[in-house]
């Protein structure tokens, strides 16, 4: 098979592992810088060019689109989808997961456990929003944040109000969520591929940091999921419409609550923690499902 991977940094661990896994299985994998692609949007003949050459003949595409280029990356991916190329994750699913508000609404619709989450436009409604979230402490998140950036823990109502009003005064959209104290600075990431949980790890934040992201200095260890946590991860992936994702959950007293569904999960932490060949599983999924025009949405919506 001939596989394209949309990624800006070819040297990242995850991208090198995917290339290695594909080539080990006899496939060709080209790493294509997403921002260097340009498109000719022609009726019935969608074209993609890269460094002056037309991209064609691909059987599948692996989108590794950074959060900062979501808009352009999804446009390129949709062009591949309209060409009939099989995407490991579809543009629609990626768009759902990248919009924190929409993703929370979709998860809530499907009855998936969530932290109490509030959202408002008017800074004058700050006190009501904080009360709906259960009062301080609360977690305040930028809608566009990623890897723990743009996430603030406000310990008191006064500090929470100041942070919310500052963000809203700057025209920045935020979510306010209840703080799950019993999680103790740890969370769970479950890797879902093709509707099955294939790996899971517990991440613990660096000393003094309530965020457990490995990019922020956290550590990871293998963990056994409960049946409810496994079901929650699978339902979350289905709600987003993602074939491959990382589902981040906290262990609350009332059961697992989902914090985020990541459509481009990094593999370094989970592969090293579990010893599993997650990259190989992703390529195996492509081998089983890659067929021309197999995209459910074909670049729509």
For the stretch 62-89, pLDDT in tens is 999 998 899 999 999 999 999 999 999 9
Phi, psi of 183 (to 5 degrees): -70, -25
**What integer best gives the mean pLDDT of the chain?**
89
Q: Answer whether residue 114 shows pLDDT above 50.
A: yes
**Which pLDDT belongs to residue 228?**
97
pLDDT value at 208 more than 70: no
Per-residue pLDDT at 301 exceeds 50:
no
Is the bond leading into 137 cis (omega within 30 degrees of zero)? yes
Query: Which architecture characterizes domain 182-280 according to CATH?
Result: 2-Layer Sandwich (3.30)
| pLDDT value for 207 | 58
Least confident of 31-40, 155-164, 206-215: 206-215
Q: What share of the chain is helix, strand, coil (3-state, %, to 5)?
A: 35, 25, 35
Does residue 39 have a pLDDT over 70? yes
Q: What is the pLDDT of residue 297?
A: 63
Q: pLDDT value at position 147? A: 54
Q: pLDDT value at position 282? A: 98
Provide the pLDDT for residue 145. 55
Q: What contacts 2, CB < 8 A, 6 or more positions away?
A: 27, 28, 30, 57, 58, 59
Q: What percent of the chain has pLDDT over 90?
A: 63
Q: Is the pLDDT of residue 211 over 70?
A: no
- Which CATH class, in words, describes the domain spanning 2-95+285-289? alpha beta
Q: Is the pLDDT of residue 148 over 60?
A: no
Residue 106 pLDDT exceeds 90:
yes
CB 71 within 8 A of CB 280: no
How high is the pLDDT of residue 94?
A: 96
Confidence of residue 151 (pLDDT cuts 50, 70, 90): confident
**CATH no., domain 117-179:** 3.30.1490.20
DSSP state of 90: -
Convert the pLDDT of each residue in 255-295 to its tens digit.
Answer: 999 999 999 999 999 999 999 999 999 999 999 999 887 77
Distance of CA 112 to the CA centre of its chain: 17
* pTM recorded for the entire structure: 0.87
pLDDT digits (tens, 9 = 90+) for 155-197: 888 898 888 888 877 777 888 899 998 888 889 999 999 999 9
Q: Domain residue spans in the chain?
A: 2-95+285-289, 117-179, 182-280
pLDDT at 222 over 50: yes
DSSP alpha helix (H) spans, the chain: 13-24, 70-82, 91-98, 100-109, 126-132, 157-169, 227-240, 268-274, 278-289
């Amino acid at each position: 098979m001939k596989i394209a991977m949309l990624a800006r940094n070819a040297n990242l661990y995850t991208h090198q592992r995917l290339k290695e896994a594909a080539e080990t299985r006899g496939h060709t994998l080209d790493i294509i810088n997403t921002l260097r692609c340009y498109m000719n949007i022609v009726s019935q003949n969608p074209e993609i060019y890269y460094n002056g050459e037309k991209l064609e003949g691909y059987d599948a595409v692996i989108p590794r689109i950074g959060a900062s280029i979501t808009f352009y990356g999804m446009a390129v991916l949709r062009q591949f989808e309209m060409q009939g190329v099989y995407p490991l994750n579809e543009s629609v699913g990626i768009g759902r997961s990248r919009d924190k508000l929409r993703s929370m609404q979709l998860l809530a619709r499907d009855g998936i456990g969530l932290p109490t989450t509030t959202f408002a436009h008017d800074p004058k409604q700050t006190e009501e929003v904080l009360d709906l979230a259960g009062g301080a402490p609360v977690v305040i998140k930028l809608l566009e944040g990623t890897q723990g950036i743009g996430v603030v823990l406000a310990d008191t109502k006064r500090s929470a109000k100041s942070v919310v009003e500052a963000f809203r005064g700057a025209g920045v959209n935020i979510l306010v969520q209840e703080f799950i104290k019993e999680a103790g600075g740890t969370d769970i990431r479950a890797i879902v591929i093709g509707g099955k949980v294939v790996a899971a790890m517990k991440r613990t934040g660096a000393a003094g940091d309530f965020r457990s992201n490995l990019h922020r200095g956290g550590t990871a260890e293998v963990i056994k999921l409960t049946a409810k946590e496994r079901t929650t991860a699978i339902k979350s992936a289905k709600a987003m419409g993602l074939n491959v994702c990382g589902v981040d959950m906290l262990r609350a007293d009332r059961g697992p609550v989902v914090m985020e569904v990541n459509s481009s999960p990094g593999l370094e932490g989970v592969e090293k923690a579990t010893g599993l060949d997650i990259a190989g599983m992703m390529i195996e999924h492509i081998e089983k499902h890659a067929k021309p025009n197999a995209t459910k949405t074909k670049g729509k919506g």
